[in-house]
């Protein structure tokens, strides 16, 4: 049968891959996909999203830049000076590093669930007291609902005169209270970002960045998927992840967006369509949280 590939793995499992070309209503006479099938796939049939989902190529994203082309093509829509209203929900997020850069951003979420990265602190070789002082001087600080951070900073690894302390304790000593973000795999944050930057040729983005967030823009343009091979996939169930370099602003975005999606403010998400991908993702996260209780 055209479009059906059946084979047996080395462990004796029979695998059947059903290609879209098996459906005659989805292909033209020359065997190429119909135009409607290409809608929403950036880069068309040569783009990684198409190759992964439609050509069943699980290495399609290997080594690819995450969003450089999107930012370059639609910079006039993505990098904007957006007015932050008093009624917007405001959240902070931190990726701490003493020897590596320390990153802090404020994300404003309006009534339409649009997210705007509106404020940036990004420093090399700083101390927690100095970094916290800058955070508290942020004009949005008093209105932040929470500040998310890497869950690992709650580990008590810092020697003190009397006892072991965590980095969280040190932030708290400076008057900055943090809440655990969601780390782990990049996949949820990647999907959320790309969903908010989809169909930009005909619609507006649902995530924007202030032009004053220089380092976040710089990092996002350089984010790249890790190199993987077919052999690596066969031996492990690998999630899509990014190269661990120049990703401090990405990490604080990841802690923020993963927490926002997994523990949403009902006032923000109550009007979501049950048919939308974001609503379905939220339902999955809610059920998971219920099972964890």
CATH number, domain at 276? 3.30.420.280
pTM listed for this prediction:
0.70
- Domain limits for position 123: 69-292
> Quick one: 25 and 144 in the same domain?
no
> Quick one: 227 and 172 in the same domain?
yes
> Quick one: 43 and 81 in the same domain?
no
**CB count, 10 Å around CB of 133?**
14
Helix (H) or strand (E) segment spanning residue 248: helix 248-262
SS3 assignment, position 163: coil
> Quick one: 80 and 29 in the same domain?
no
Look at residue 60 and tell me whether its pLDDT is greater than 50.
no
- 117 neighbors 148 (Cβ within 8 angstroms): no
Look at residue 46 and tell me whether its pLDDT is greater than 90.
no
Q: What pLDDT sits at residue 281?
A: 62
- 90 neighbors 108 (Cβ within 8 angstroms): yes
Look at residue 175 and tell me whether its pLDDT is greater than 90.
yes
What mean pLDDT do residues 275-279 have? Answer: 59
* Dihedral class, residue 225 (left if φ above 0, else alpha if ψ from -120 to 50, else beta): beta
> Quick one: 103 and 53 in the same domain?
no
For the chain, the domain total comes to 2
Summarize pLDDT for 218-258 with one digit per residue, the tens: 999 999 887 665 444 444 445 567 888 889 999 999 999 99
> Quick one: 135 and 275 in the same domain?
yes
CA distance 51 to 58: 8
> Quick one: 140 and 269 in the same domain?
yes
- 131 neighbors 120 (Cβ within 8 angstroms): no
> Quick one: 39 and 101 in the same domain?
no
> Quick one: 133 and 218 in the same domain?
yes
SS3 assignment, position 263: coil
């Amino acid at each position: 049968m055209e479009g059906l590939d059946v084979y047996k793995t080395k462990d004796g499992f029979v695998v059947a891959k059903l290609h879209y070309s098996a459906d005659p209503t989805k292909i033209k006479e020359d065997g190429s996909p119909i135009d409607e099938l290409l809608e929403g796939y950036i880069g068309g049939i040569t783009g990684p999203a198409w190759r992964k989902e439609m050509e069943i190529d699980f290495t399609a994203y290997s080594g690819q830049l995450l969003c450089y082309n999107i930012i370059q093509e639609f910079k006039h829509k993505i990098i904007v000076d957006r007015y932050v209203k008093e009624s917007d929900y405001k959240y902070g997020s931190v990726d701490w590093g003493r020897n590596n850069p320390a990153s802090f951003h404020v994300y404003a979420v309006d009534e339409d669930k649009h997210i705007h990265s509106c404020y940036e602190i990004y420093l090399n070789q700083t101390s927690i007291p100095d970094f916290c002082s800058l955070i508290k001087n942020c004009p949005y600080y008093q209105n932040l609902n929470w500040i998310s951070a890497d869950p690992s900073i709650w580990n008590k690894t810092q020697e003190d005169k009397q006892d072991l302390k965590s980095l969280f304790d040190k932030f708290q000593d400076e008057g900055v209270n943090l809440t655990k973000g969601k780390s782990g795999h990049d996949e949820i944050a990647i999907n959320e970002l790309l969903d908010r930057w989809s169909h930009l040729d005909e619609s507006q983005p649902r995530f924007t960045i202030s032009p004053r967030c220089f380092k976040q823009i710089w990092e996002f343009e350089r984010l790249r998927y890790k190199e993987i091979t077919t052999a690596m996939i066969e031996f492990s169930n690998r999630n899509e992840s990014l190269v661990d370099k120049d990703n401090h602003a990405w990490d604080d975005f990841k802690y923020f967006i993963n927490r926002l999606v997994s523990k949403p403010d009902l006032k923000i998400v109550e009007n979501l369509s049950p048919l939308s991908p974001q609503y379905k993702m939220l339902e999955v996260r809610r059920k998971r949280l219920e099972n964890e209780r």
